Chain A
Amino acid sequence: AQSVTQLGSHVSVSEGALVLLRCNYSSSVPPYLFWYVQYPNQGLQLLLKYTTGATLVKGINGFEAEFKKSETSFHLTKPSAHMSDAAEYFCAVSRAGANSKLTFGKGITLSVRP
Chain B
Amino acid sequence: EAQVTQNPRYLITVTGKKLTVTCSQNMNHEYMSWYRQDPGLGLRQIYYSMNVEVTDKGDVPEGYKVSRKEKRNFPLILESPSPNQTSLYFCASSFQGGDEQYFGPGTRLTVT
Contact = CB atoms under 8 A, between A and B. Distances in A.
B96 interface: yes
Nearest to B41: A106
Interface string B17-60: 00000000000001101010000111111001010000000100
A9 B103 contact: no
B105 to A, nearest CB: 5
Contacts of A90: 42-43
Q: Is the interface of A mostly helix, strand, loop or mixed?
A: loop
The range of chain B's interface size is 20 to 34
Given A42-B106, A90-B42, A107-B42, A100 B90 contact: no
A94 B42 contact: no
A94 B106 contact: no
A65 B101 CA distance: 18
B26 to A, nearest CB: 15
A99 to B, nearest CB: 6
B104 A106 contact: no
Given A98-B31, A101-B58, 12 more contacts: A36-B103, A43-B90, A43-B106, A46-B100, A90-B43, A94-B97, A97-B98, A101-B45, A102-B45, A102-B101, A104-B43, A107-B42
